[in-house]
Amino acid sequence: MAAPSCCASSSARKKQKPSPRRARDALVFAAGVAAAVLALLGPASVLAPGRGQLIASPVIPGPEDGPRTFYDDPELSYDAVDGRRMTGWDAKRAAWLRSRGLGGRRRSAPERVVMVSGSQPEPCAGDAGDDLMLRFLKNKLDYCRLHGIELLYNRDFLQPAMTYAWAKLPIVRAAMLAHPEAEWVWWVDSDAAFTDMDFYPPLATRYAGHNLVVHGDLERFFGKRSWLGLNTGVFLIRNCQWSLDLMDEWARMGPAYPEHERWGKVIMESLTEKGSPWSCDQSALVYLLLNNWERLGKKAYIETEYYLHGYWVDIMDRLDGVAERYEAVERSTPGLRRRHAEREHARYAVARNAAVGAAVPGPAGGGKWGWRRPFVTHFVGCQPCGGWRNPMYSKESCEGGMRRALGFADDQVLRAYGFRHAAPLNDIVQPLPFDYPAAHARSN
């Protein structure tokens, strides 16, 4: 008998009916093609920089394509000291946004934010400083991931003469130029921790019409004219020409300029509670705003209602009580105890804030009264990386406080992964039982 042919004639193929196996194979092949197409098209939708919304990514021109922008100007300088002053920034930024399909932000869309932080380029001099810096960085990464914020963490002195806290000005200015898509640039000191992962600043509502948001004490600022009336460890600055002008004027009071020493004496004579004739970035900003209120101060929002900057000494003894009250609210609110994906954090944050607001006294974001979570806990004077510590604070209070605050915040993040720390100062984590914290209360 002749061996069967491997290839049937075309007429024979037409007469043959497809077998069930062939039909199944064709279906699998079609599904594979569809999956491949989806995989290729998937990157066309990306997370928007504002709080996790999905938007279609605009078509980005290649290196040789598209209209010229301010980036093509050979005299553009990112240098906050020796560079050319930026002018016409609002128009240049608007043109860039239009050229990239990002203009005309919808009123309901969140404002785009870039957070900037950093630490020194050398290893930390203080004991456990590098470990603490890593934990502070993780804390900021967690907060930014939950709220769809981009984080720029810098470890370089962009202008070597701008030392100490003055180093923040060059990187904030450079971030404005490098991120024209961002409406706000948010500076956060390396030793500041987010201790309420749910709270988000009211950018589009309370701060509409303002270009600078900084935490302060109104009596100390206006009444005493104290250099401690504001804290520049955490501030929000709008990406606009007004802000660039302020940054230029502010930087000219710093150590990169010959007038720095003179400004130190002027500030010491003009502001109270200033014990040395050294112009720091904070005292310089206080002086600028107080003495140029019509031109500068009216565009600044001095936040007093919540802890945009919370002094750690006022907070640490209260964290356990805060945690207990939040757990009590969750025990009585079954919906908040449901397990959920981390991607759904914003929905649960809104629900939790509503439930807590009805049961726990104090403002959202924390404050000097009540028992709400403090939004930011700032370890002023502890200097975990530099090695020098204010002698009024003990090493134990500083390091213990930092670890406690960071663990308090970390528990809020670990919750979505089914874990929490065994105790406030314990690095060991333990799994959470189903229906926590109600189940935890029943078992105890």
Task: Mark whether 332 and 410 lie in a shared domain.
Answer: yes
The residues, ordered by sequence, that sit 6+ positions from 371 with a Cβ below 8 Å of its Cβ are: 318, 321, 322, 325, 360, 361, 362
In a domain, 65, yes or no: no
Task: Mark whether 350 and 292 lie in a shared domain.
Answer: no
Final residue in a domain of this structure, among 251, 282, 303? 303
pLDDT of residue 439: 73
Task: Mark whether 348 and 327 lie in a shared domain.
Answer: yes
Residues of the chain below pLDDT 70 = 1-65, 105-108, 440-444
CATH code (residue 267): 3.90.550.10
Exposed, middle or buried by CB within 10 Å (0-12, 13-18, 19+), for 171? Answer: buried
In a domain, 24, yes or no: no
Task: Mark whether 273 and 316 lie in a shared domain.
Answer: no
Which candidate, 161, 383, 203, places its Cα nearest to that of 303?
A: 203
Task: Mark whether 278 and 297 lie in a shared domain.
Answer: yes
pLDDT of residue 362: 96
Rg, Å, the chain Cα set: 28
The two three-digit tokens of residue 108, written as one number: 């309901």
In a domain, 213, yes or no: yes
pLDDT of residue 164: 87
Which candidate, 185, 44, 224, 134, places its Cα nearest to that of 410?
A: 134
In a domain, 228, yes or no: yes
In a domain, 25, yes or no: no
Final residue in a domain of this structure, among 303, 332, 364? 303
pTM for the model stands at 0.84
In a domain, 379, yes or no: yes
The two three-digit tokens of residue 378, written as one number: 């700032």
Counting the structural domains of the chain, the total is 2
Which candidate, 199, 211, 236, 213, places its Cα nearest to that of 304?
A: 213
pLDDT of residue 3: 36
Beta strand extents in 261-353 (DSSP E only): 300-303, 310-311
The span from the CA of 370 to the CA of 373, in Å, is: 9
pLDDT in tens, 362-417: 999 999 999 999 999 999 999 999 878 888 999 899 999 999 999 999 999 999 99
List the Cα angle 249/254/259 in 5-degree steps. Answer: 85
Task: Mark whether 374 and 352 lie in a shared domain.
Answer: yes
Please give the residue range of the domain that contains residue 436. 310-443
Task: Mark whether 225 and 337 lie in a shared domain.
Answer: no
Task: Mark whether 293 and 316 lie in a shared domain.
Answer: no
Task: Mark whether 299 and 335 lie in a shared domain.
Answer: no
Task: Mark whether 416 and 372 lie in a shared domain.
Answer: yes
In a domain, 42, yes or no: no
Final residue in a domain of this structure, among 244, 272, 303? 303
In a domain, 74, yes or no: no
